[in-house]
Amino acid sequence: MSSPRNILLVTCHPEPRSLNGALRDHALEVFGRLGHRVEQSDLYAMQWQAVVDARDFPAEEPGARLAVGAASRRATEGGLLTADVVAEQAKLLRADAVILQFPLWWFGVPAILKGWFDRVLSNGFAYGLTAPGARNSSRYGEGKLKGKRALLSVTAGGMTSHFSERGVNGRLEDLLFPVTHGTLFYTGMEVLPTVAAHGTNRVAEEQFAALREAYTARLEGLFSDAPIAFRSQNGGDYDDDLTLSPGLGEGTSGLALHRR
C-alpha cells in the first residue's frame, strides 16, 4: 500500500457514458482504494475555454498589439491571470501526479485539452524559467513541476499493431512525443509510458474487464514504475548548443535519440 498522494485527473470527452467516462470512474475507484486524494478537471463539464486570446490578459492595454508569450509572462508574474487559469495552476501545484484521460483525435489530444495546455501552462509558470545563475532555461526535466508524475491514458479507434513502430500510423509514443516530452517533461514532470486502449469503437464486456485490469496495474504503479527515460536538457547529454553530444544515441535515429 502506497502512502496517500494528491492526484489531478483531467478528462475531456463530451459524453460521460463513454469508454473515457468508464476509465475515469475506474481510476477514481482505484485511487479511492489506495487512499489517494483526487481532484478532477472535467474539461467538457467545466465548459473550459479552449482558445488563447486577449481575454486571457485583461491587464494588457486595450488595443495594444498582443504578443502572447510576453503578455503571458506579465500576467503570471503580476498575479493577473484569469480565475479559471489560476484555479487549474493551483490544482497542478497541489498534485503529486497528473492523469490525462483522452480520446486520440487526429493522432493528438482533443482541442479542448490542447487549449488547457495553451492557457494553463503560462510563461513564468510552466516555461520561460531560468534558475539564478543557470546557463540554460530550466526545462526538460527541470522546472516548476519537477517532482510530479504524469500519465496519459488514451483511447484509440485503431488496432494496437497499427500503432507499433512499423505499423501504418507510426509508434503511438512517437505520435504523443509533443505531449509527453514537449509539454509534460518540458515542465519538469516525470512521464510514465502511455496507457492505451485500442480498437475502442467496439469494446466488448470481456475486453473492458481486461482493459480495466491492465489500467489498475498502471495506476497502482503510478509512483513506483519507471518513467520514460527522456534525457534532461541540463544533465550532460546535450552540449552548449543543446545538441545531443557526439557518441550518444548511436544506432538510433529520430525521436528515440532523446531517450536514454
Coil, helix or strand for 256? helix
Q: Cβ 243 to its own copies, closest distance in Å?
A: 5
The dihedral built from the CA positions of residue 82, 177, 46 and 65, taken in this order, carries a sign that is positive
- Residue 103 vs 188, nearer CB to its own copies: 103
Q: Cβ 218 to its own copies, closest distance in Å?
A: 23
- Residue 80 vs 111, nearer CB to its own copies: 111
The set of residues, in sequence order, having a beta carbon less than 8 Å from that of 85 and lying 6+ positions away, is 56, 119, 120, 122
- Residue 133 vs 251, nearer CB to its own copies: 251
Q: Cβ 125 to its own copies, closest distance in Å?
A: 13
Coil, helix or strand for 112? helix
Structural contact between residues 36 and 29, judged by C-beta atoms closer than 8 angstroms = no
Q: Cβ 165 to its own copies, closest distance in Å?
A: 7
Q: Cβ 184 to its own copies, closest distance in Å?
A: 10
Structural contact between residues 202 and 157, judged by C-beta atoms closer than 8 angstroms = no
- Residue 95 vs 113, nearer CB to its own copies: 113
User: 117-139 in b/e burial notation, b at 16+ Cβ within 10 A?
Assistant: bbbbbbbbbbbbbeeeeeeebbb
Distance from C-alpha of 221 to C-alpha of 182, rounded to nearest angstrom: 23
- Residue 191 vs 219, nearer CB to its own copies: 191
The residues that touch its own copies, with contacts defined as CB under 8 A, are: 14-15, 17-18, 44, 50-54, 65-69, 103, 105-112, 114-115, 117-118, 121, 140, 157, 159, 161-162, 164-171, 174-175, 177-179, 181-183, 186, 201, 233, 238, 241-244, 249, 252-258
Q: Cβ 109 to its own copies, closest distance in Å?
A: 8
- Residue 117 vs 208, nearer CB to its own copies: 117
- Residue 38 vs 249, nearer CB to its own copies: 249
Q: Cβ 220 to its own copies, closest distance in Å?
A: 29
Residue located via cell numbers 490542447:
114
Q: How far from 210 is each of 23, 168, 197, 205, 214, CA to CA, in Å?
A: 12, 25, 10, 9, 6
Q: Minimal CA–CA distance to 12: which of 3, 21, 4?
A: 21
